[in-house]
Amino acid sequence: MNQPPADLRPLEWGRYATLADVLPAVDDAFRGEPSSDVPIPPSKDVVLMLIDGLGDELLTRHADVAPTLTAMRTATIRAGFPATTATSITSLMAGVQCGSHGIIGYSFRTDRNATRGPGRQTLNALRWTLNRSDGRSALETYAPESVQPLDGSLADMARRGVEVSYVMPLLYRGSGFSRAAFRVEGSYVGAQTPDEIRDGVGRSLANDVAGHRFVYAYWPDLDAAGHLFGPGSPQWVSTLAVVDRLVADLAADLPRETTLLVTGDHGMIQADKRIDIDTTDEMLKGVEAVAGEMRVRQVYTRPGARDDVQSFWTDIVGEDAHVVTHEQVLDERWFGDEVTDFVDERIGDLVVVARGTTILTRSLTEPEPETTMLGHHGAWTFDEQLVPLLVQRG
C-alpha cells in the first residue's frame, strides 16, 4: 500500500527558495551578479519555460522518460502557498509571495467595499469570473490591475530596457489573469504545440539586439493530463516525454550567452478520498462562502459563527485536513513573510488544507469537470509544493 505524501510544514518552508525568487535572480544574472539562492549564470538573454504541473517529486519518479529534464535539473525550489497556477505565476512575475501581490488562490473574496455579508462575491482569479470558474466575466467588477496592484519584477526589468516576449496560447493574451500577473505588454507569439513553442522562442531571439531579452514560454498540457487522467498515468507519462523532447530541442537551439530556465508552477497528487462540503450534513451551517480549490479552501463565516464552524469542520475532516484560523495563518506566515492590509481582507476566517490524498469537493456548486478530476494540487505535500529548476546555458 502506498504511503500518503509527506507534508512540507510551514516551519520547513524557509529552507527552499521559491518561484518568487526566480525573476530577481534573472535580473541579477543580467547584471552579471549571480544569486546564491537561485543559480542562474550571467546572461545576455534568458528564456524561461514554465511547464504547468511539472513537480519535482513526479520528475524524480519518472526520470527514465525525461532524461533531458533530469540531466538539466539544477535545484529544487518551492512553488509557494497555495501551490496553484494563478498564485504561482503571479508570484513568479511579481517577485513576491501572494501575501504581497494578493492572488491568494484559485478563487477568493475581494470586495474591499463590502467586507461582510452574503452579497460579497468570489473571484476566480485564473478564469477571471465571478463565483464559479464558468461564471460571468469579472472584468467589469474587478479590474485586474486593482486586484493585483504591484508592477513587480518583470515590470521593473522592462522599465530598465529588458525586451520582454511571450510565447504561449493566444487565448491568454489580454485575459484578466494575464493583465493581473504580467503587467508588461511585451511582444506576443501565439504558440499551442511544442513545434510552435520552439519556433516562437527562436523568432523571439532571432535578431541581434544591444540589450537584454527575456522570453517567457508556457505549456499547459502536462497539468491537463494530470487533472484528467492522474499524475503518473500512461497519458501523463507520455506527455512528460513530449515535454522532455521540447526542452531538449530548446536547449539545442540556444544562442550563445542565452540561458534556458525550466520550472513548474506546482506538482500534483492523485485524490483517493473525497469529502463533499455541499452534501455533508450541516457543513455549510454558519458559512457565507467557500472559495479556493479542492486541496485548499478559504471559508468565510457568518458573524460570530467562526468558532462553531471550525469545531464542526474539524470533527468532520479529522486527520484528513487542517482547519486553521485566520490569525494562525498569519502567525505562521502561510502566505509569505508580509501580508498587506488589502490581502488580509481576502483571507478566509478559516483556511482548510487537505492532507494526504484527500480533497474537499463541492458537488452541487462547482462545475462537474472540476469535481470529477483525478489530479489535484494546492496543499502542503512535497508532491505539490516542490518544483524543479532546470538551467542550461547556450
pLDDT at 34 over 90: no
How much helix, strand and coil, in percent to the nearest 5, is found in the chain? 35, 25, 40
User: What gap in Å lies between CA 182 and CA 90, rounded to an integer?
Assistant: 7
- The confidence band for 115, taking pLDDT boundaries of 50, 70 and 90, is very low
Same CATH topology for 10-96+144-269+381-393 and 105-140+271-375: the answer is: no
pLDDT in tens, 246-277: 999 999 999 999 999 999 999 999 999 999 99
**pLDDT digits 0-9 by tens, 215-250:** 999 999 999 999 999 999 999 999 999 999 999 999
Q: Which residues on adjacent β-strands are paired with residue 261?
A: 48, 391
Q: Which CATH superfamily is domain 10-96+144-269+381-393 in?
A: Alkaline Phosphatase, subunit A (3.40.720.10)
Q: Report the pLDDT value the prediction gives residue 3, as an integer from 0 to 100.
A: 67
The mean pLDDT value for 390-394 works out to 94
> Quick check: 36 pLDDT over 80?
no
Q: Which CATH architecture has domain 105-140+271-375?
A: 2-Layer Sandwich (3.30)
Supply the pLDDT for residue 119.
Answer: 59
Length of the chain, please? 394
What mean pLDDT value characterizes the chain? 94
pLDDT in tens, 122-132: 999 999 999 99
Least confident of 53-62, 119-128, 168-177, 273-282: 119-128
For the chain, the domains span: 10-96+144-269+381-393, 105-140+271-375
pLDDT at 319: 95
Looking at the chain, the whole-number percentage of residues with pLDDT higher than 70 is 97
Tell me, what DSSP letter sits at residue 31? T
Helices (H), the chain: 22-30, 56-61, 67-72, 85-94, 98-101, 144-147, 152-159, 176-181, 194-204, 221-229, 234-252, 306-317, 326-331, 341-344, 368-371, 382-385
Give the three-state DSSP class for 30: helix
Other beta carbons within 10 angstroms of residue 335's beta carbon come to: 27
Q: What DSSP element (H or E) covers 375?
A: strand 375-376
Three-state secondary-structure class, residue 47: strand
Helices (H), 95-143: 98-101
Model confidence band, residue 113 (pLDDT cutoffs 50, 70, 90): very low
- Judge whether residue 112 has pLDDT over 60: no
**What is the pTM assigned to this prediction?**
0.96
50 near 92, Cβ under 8 Å?
yes
